[in-house]
Amino acid sequence: MTKILVSPRVTEKSTMLGDKHRQFVFRVATDATKPDIKEAVEQMFEVKVDSVRVCNVKGKRKIFKNAPGFRQGWKKAYVRLMPGFDINFVGT
């Protein structure tokens, strides 16, 4: 499961999504599929997943020591939970 879900994305936007729509944002492996992500979230956090949306984030153009290059791209998943379920990242 930790190979599929790399880390949660805790930002202002993801916090608002979690409060309003029970949607949580995760950084996932680039080869992960929607069913893989759904299964990983359900097993890791013991919740029921309603839907999964996936977004590929393109790497930014950067200059490293006067040589142009690119940062690595990554994959982001928006996971919506069924009513009555919640994920608490703080652990309180």
pLDDT in tens, the chain (92 residues): 679 999 999 999 988 988 888 899 999 999 999 999 999 999 999 999 999 999 999 999 999 889 999 999 999 999 999 999 988 776 64
The domains of the chain, with CATH numbers, are 5-81 (3.30.70.330)
Contacts 24+ apart (CB under 8 A), 56-62: 56/30
Distance CA 84, CA 44 (A): 17
The answer to whether the predicted template modeling score (pTM) of the entire model surpasses 0.95 is no
C-alpha distances (whole Å) from 14 to each of 17, 25, 51, 62, 70 are: 5, 6, 16, 26, 25
